Structure 1
Amino acid sequence: MTHALPADARPLLVRAPGAPLSGRIRVPGDKSISHRALMFAGLAWGETRIDGLLEGEDVLRTAAAMRALGAEIRREGDGRWVVRGAGLGRLREPEDVLDMGNSGTAARLLAGILASHGLHSVMTGDASLRRRPMARVIGPLAGTGAVFASREGGRLPLSISGRADPAPLHVRMQVASAQVKSAVLLAGLNAPGETVVEEPVPTRDHSENMLRHFGADLSVETDGAGGRLIRLQGRPTLIARDVSVPSDPSSAAFPLVAALLVPGSEVLIEAVGLNPLRTGLFTTLREMGAALAIENERIEGGEPVGDLLVRASALRGVVVPAQRAPSMIDEYPVLAVAAAFAEGETRMCGLDELRVKESDRLSATVALLQANGAQVRVEGDDMIVVGRGASALGGGEVRTQMDHRLAMSGVVMGLAAGRPVAVDDVAFIDTSFPGFVPLMNALGAGLSA
């Protein structure tokens, strides 16, 4: 049975390279931080300079949306981006529909901003984003008094009538989602009084770090069970501050795992963000026996950064606890590929959040593995992979479902497997990792799209 692909699809047949991967690379800027840098700079007074911004399609959608809301944004010749903010509470009503492309992060965070400004807006996205649930954001944001209208199930297109006099929010998180938490905090920025978020399971805290960076009054308390209580004082004066965006650890995952699996490889990945709420994959790979060292650790733009030195390694199966999932939620597809080559069984627990990513990423990852000879099963919200030798893997097709991380995971599978792997479309990898194929080729991958 055939499946429909976009007219501009770029299929890729991936074979194991004839030599080890080697070299020194820098992957694009962190996507999560790039979105937030543009949004917070757009709400601040003054001019913010941003270095290292991810120039992928997802982030460019955020830039376009903030321009439509009144921020002045330009790219300078040296790759630096400059944002002159419209000012908190002073956004203008957009003249047209805001098209967020494939970016769930942009859509959900922007919904928070729009809910607490007295203007009307409509958001849409591509076919993949229009299938993704927004109800998890709409529910708590409705507490501001904003009025939302969406398709069935809270799906885009989404109409938002924001409030000029929004109520502050007090939200206890029902799902471990940094996007929902950030949307609530962004709504609380323009609400008088205190907005409170109770987070039983900690998620990536880039929004909290950046809010402080721009001058917001925000505090975080922790409890004995590991939960967090976040308090934000509304209507601060946000002041422009320069931002240096580190390399994205989620993007670094793909050349990292490829280097682990291709025999004899040694790769250095520079300036990778090491926020402890983002490094679950690195912890897991070390538990599996990965030769993964962190060098030159430092702080840049309020975020910990370091260089990753990775060498090909014999991996073994482990149990990945559910509480680690928020710190590596985007990395499970490529971790599953690594597990397919490991000795023994790897159980990845608590993956319910994968069902609502760019695709049903859990079932799509299972399909990727099964098509290429891996032993995998799902029990509830757990995925269990039993490792096999490289010679038993490959030979299948990866159906990416417009999901950039599935596409890159398929490429990693093909580089390490004993038989070629067909990836049905790699065109949309540029949404998060522009230049992925040339960068991998610089390490010796030998890809030709």
Structure 2
Amino acid sequence: MDIIIYPKENLKGVFTVPGDKSISHRAVMFGSISDGRTNISGFLTGEDCLSTISCFKKMGIEIEVCGTDVVVHGKGLHGLSSPEGILDVGNSGTTIRLLTGLLCGQDFNCKLTGDNSIQKRPMERVAVPLREMGADISGIIKDNKLFAPVNVKGKKLKGISYAMNVASAQVKSAILLASLYADGQTEIIEPEPTRNHTEIMLNYLGADIKRDGNKIISSPVKELYAKEIHVPGDISSAAYFLVTGTICKNSEITINNVGVNPTRTGIISVLHEMGANISVENKRVVCGEPVADIHVKYSKLKGITIGGDIIPSLIDEIPVIAVAASLAEGKTVIKDAGELKVKESNRIKTIVCELKKLGADIEETEDGMVINGVNRLKGNVCESYGDHRIAMSIAVAALASQGETTIKGMECADISFPGFYDYIERL
């Protein structure tokens, strides 16, 4: 689907964004291995999260979906059944990586696959620690690296101490899920803290996971127990409107009920440092997760350097941060973000390419980009590369560009933000 976006000013609105993608995935997964009925509200009905539901249904879990309300009839830690056929995760990297960790300690074998994008994304970083725990994981080998389709044979697992080379919440979560089936404690040492939704939700359901600095310690428990889970709005989705409200003249936007987990709020910190007028209000805690309302007004931005420890907390938001930097005064340097190369697209290359089409002064580097702000972007024909975050970032840039912008393949936004274009039209 191609869409045409025209420049807009005076954008006003108060609304909520769809549920957090990371939390929605985990609610279904962890509810499935908990004892009892898990009622989930605010669930993200994007394609990725629906792929997670499909996989667990194939493993014998009854799941009811009614809009954004989902009921998972969990069967406990040892209640999953051998699936009929291959588990297809679609475009979801979270699903395939976390499932690999969960399934390696089961008493059955299975195969995991996904679309063309998933089959190009590296699985070795997940397989290495899981094999140390005793897992039997195999698949397609290219250049000594593992790719999907992946075969997972259930084995008896043991606890390990593992120092992660790359800060990755998906790798950490895969190990933590495997640790639920392992003998003895499992220790994970992170190079920098990553999003901690897995630890929060598993503990909420009865797990025994503790943090000591950058070390995470998981001790076995006999069972997890179902509870209600309320999914807050996804800050990664809210980020597009935080930038929109900042760069479109005379705009003022409030987004209610947004998850503001400190491992995810790098986007707010960066925009503040750039000079954005953003306030975080009505803070509260829901099911262990911090939640708030975020208010943003049009602001004049300045270039900054973004790198180091903050990168894991905003890795998904870097494409839209690049949009803001394109219209900021001065130079912005984004570094230490090599992880962007192994997302749905090489997001360093793709966002640089598309913003150049709009007239941005932006250059790719080995682990990020250098951006010199310009006064105005100009509309053009742009590609999405089938990458939801690239598509939505270019849509935000189009709102602050002269003339019309056509974005090809905009339907991919439904992966994480169903109805994204409708939100723009409502504003």
Q: Which amino acid counterpart does residue 244 of structure 2 have in structure 1?
A: A
Q: State the partner residue of 1:447.
A: none
- What is the deviation of 1:211? 1.1
Q: State the partner residue of 2:95.
A: 106
| 2:46 is aligned with 1:60 | no
| Separation in structure 1 between the aligned mates of residue 138 and residue 60 of structure 2, nearest angstrom | 24
| Separation in structure 2 between the aligned mates of residue 337 and residue 397 of structure 1, nearest angstrom | 16
Q: Which amino acid counterpart does residue 176 of structure 1 have in structure 2?
A: A
Cα contact 2:35–2:224 (8 A) shared by 1: yes
What do residues 408-444 of structure 1 show as CA deviations (whole Å, max 9, x unaligned)?
Answer: 011001101123222111111111001111111111x
| Separation in structure 1 between the aligned mates of residue 276 and residue 404 of structure 2, nearest angstrom | 24
- What is the deviation of 1:267? 0.6
Q: Which amino acid counterpart does residue 102 of structure 1 have in structure 2?
A: N
Q: State the partner residue of 2:151.
A: 159
Q: State the partner residue of 1:294.
A: 280
Identity of aligned residues (%): 42
- What is the deviation of 1:170? 2.1
**Larger displacement relative to structure 2 (420-429 or 278-287):** 420-429
Cα contact 1:413–1:421 (8 A) shared by 2: no
| 2:29 is aligned with 1:36 | no
Q: State the partner residue of 2:188.
A: 197
| Separation in structure 2 between the aligned mates of residue 103 and residue 76 of structure 1, nearest angstrom | 22
Ranges in structure 1 where 5+ consecutive residues have no aligned partner: 1-9, 223-227, 444-449
Q: State the partner residue of 1:247.
A: 233
Q: How does 1:138-177 map to 2 (within 5 A)?
A: 138-152=127-141, 153-163=145-155, 165-177=156-168
- What is the deviation of 1:402? 1.0
Q: State the partner residue of 2:319.
A: 333
Q: State the partner residue of 1:385.
A: 371
Q: What TM-score, normalized to structure 1?
A: 0.92
| 2:2 is aligned with 1:24 | no
Helix, strand or coil: the match of 2:183?
coil
Q: Which amino acid counterpart does residue 157 of structure 1 have in structure 2?
A: P
| 2:2 is aligned with 1:11 | yes
**Larger displacement relative to structure 2 (376-385 or 429-438):** 376-385
Helix, strand or coil: the match of 2:84?
coil
Q: State the partner residue of 1:7.
A: none
| Separation in structure 1 between the aligned mates of residue 209 and residue 216 of structure 2, nearest angstrom | 7
| Separation in structure 2 between the aligned mates of residue 348 and residue 366 of structure 1, nearest angstrom | 12
- What is the deviation of 1:330? 0.1
Q: How does 1:411-430 map to 2 (within 5 A)?
A: 411-430=395-414
| Separation in structure 2 between the aligned mates of residue 235 and residue 294 of structure 1, nearest angstrom | 37
- What is the deviation of 1:269? 0.4
| Separation in structure 1 between the aligned mates of residue 388 and residue 344 of structure 2, nearest angstrom | 8
| Separation in structure 1 between the aligned mates of residue 325 and residue 220 of structure 2, nearest angstrom | 45
- What is the deviation of 1:141? 1.1
- 2:61 counterpart (66, 71, 80): 71
Q: Which amino acid counterpart does residue 155 of structure 1 have in structure 2?
A: F
Cα contact 2:307–2:337 (8 A) shared by 1: no
Cα contact 1:216–1:238 (8 A) shared by 2: yes
- What is the deviation of 1:40? 0.7
| 2:426 is aligned with 1:442 | yes
Q: Which amino acid counterpart does residue 421 of structure 1 have in structure 2?
A: T
- What is the deviation of 1:394? 2.4
- 1:371 counterpart (357, 365, 369): 357
Q: 1:268 to 1:407 in 2, by over 3 A?
A: same
Q: How does 1:136-285 map to 2 (within 5 A)?
A: 136-152=125-141, 153-163=145-155, 165-222=156-213, 228-285=214-271
Helix, strand or coil: the match of 1:378?
strand
Q: State the partner residue of 1:124.
A: 113
Q: State the partner residue of 2:331.
A: 345
Helix, strand or coil: the match of 1:408?
helix
| Separation in structure 2 between the aligned mates of residue 69 and residue 235 of structure 1, nearest angstrom | 22
Q: State the partner residue of 1:396.
A: 380
Q: State the partner residue of 1:322.
A: 308
Ranges in structure 2 where 5+ consecutive residues have no aligned partner: none
Cα contact 1:145–1:162 (8 A) shared by 2: no
Cα contact 1:195–1:232 (8 A) shared by 2: yes
**Larger displacement relative to structure 2 (46-55 or 147-156):** 147-156
Cα contact 2:6–2:403 (8 A) shared by 1: yes
- What is the deviation of 1:145? 2.1
| Separation in structure 2 between the aligned mates of residue 37 and residue 196 of structure 1, nearest angstrom | 23
**Larger displacement relative to structure 2 (264-273 or 413-422):** 413-422
What do residues 39-95 of structure 1 show as CA deviations (whole Å, max 9, x unaligned)?
Answer: 111000011111111111100111111111222211246x42111112112311101
Segments of 4+ moved more than 4 angstroms: none
Helix, strand or coil: the match of 2:364?
strand
What do residues 334-366 of structure 1 show as CA deviations (whole Å, max 9, x unaligned)?
Answer: 000000000000111201100100111111111
Q: State the partner residue of 2:340.
A: 354
Q: Which amino acid counterpart does residue 286 of structure 1 have in structure 2?
A: H
| Count of residues paired in the alignment | 424
Cα contact 1:298–1:304 (8 A) shared by 2: yes
What do residues 314-340 of structure 1 show as CA deviations (whole Å, max 9, x unaligned)?
Answer: 111011122110000000000000000
> Aligned-residue CA RMSD in angstroms?
1.2
| Separation in structure 1 between the aligned mates of residue 366 and residue 93 of structure 2, nearest angstrom | 25
| Separation in structure 1 between the aligned mates of residue 57 and residue 64 of structure 2, nearest angstrom | 10
Q: Which amino acid counterpart does residue 433 of structure 1 have in structure 2?
A: F
